Amino acid sequence: MQEPTAAERTVARRAAESRATVPSIELAVDVEMAPCLDLRERHTGSITALLVRACAVALRDHPRANGCYRDGHFELYCRINVGIVVAVEGVYAIPTVFDADQKPVDALAEEIEELVAGTRAGRLASPAFSGATFTLWNAGALGVDQASIPVVPSQSAALAAGTIRETLLLGEGELIASRPMTVTLSCDHRILYGAQAAGFLEAVKSRLEHGER
């Protein structure tokens, strides 16, 4: 028998709380990431920063995705704060990018890099891990093709992104190179219904496929 660490106990408690209290559904879609890869080559930035930016902008237009169901009411948040899942010490931590919708990709990339380094070095204070209104996990950084993540009870949705794959598609009688990535949205079905969740996913997909900063 092995005793879990304090961090592992926290993960276990939060995961159990999410599964027990949040009636969630999951929706997945493939995103063509070639424009984002081209954008990353021409400018500073990262795939995680582009994902944060795409989600943050989409959250502005889909306010129920930036809220929660609490005590029989819809609570919609006025700030868009994106929590980033960071693997650390065999578990994970979720530092927060505050007001993510108000920051350009370059600034997001720099901030995310600092948050990841600070989290893994144990330099961040507890406020850095609070206040998130939405959660993002770039599981592709771990080589995972497709993933999902539980919804935090104080939030209505969370998005997980897989690896960017290399495939060939048949289009107009010829093979076309494609770089798809699967993104999966987990959402609290008490506040974010199927059509609304699909609309949010489409907004994220559109921004990424147009390589928008």
CATH of the domain at 138: 3.30.559.10
In a domain, 88, yes or no: yes
pLDDT at 42 (0 to 100): 77
pLDDT in tens, 123-168: 999 999 999 999 999 999 999 999 999 999 999 999 999 999 999 8
Angstrom distances, CA of residue 37 to CA of 34, 66, 139, 170, 212: 5, 27, 17, 21, 11
b/e per residue, 71-80, with b = 16+ CB within 10 A?
eeeeeebeeb
**φ and ψ at residue 102, rounded to 5 degrees:** -100, 5
Would you say residue 31 lies in a domain? no
Q: Domain for residue 157, yes or no?
A: yes
**pLDDT tens-digit map of 186-201:** 999 999 999 999 999 9
In a domain, 140, yes or no: yes
pTM, two decimals, is 0.93
Domain assignment present for residue 103? The answer is yes
> What pLDDT was estimated at residue 164?
95
In a domain, 25, yes or no: no
- Identify whether 2 is part of a domain: no
Query: Which structural domain range is residue 72 located in?
Result: 45-209
144 neighbors 163 (Cβ within 8 angstroms):
yes
* Average predicted confidence (pLDDT) for the chain: 93
Count of structural domains, the chain: 1
Residue 155 lies in a domain: yes
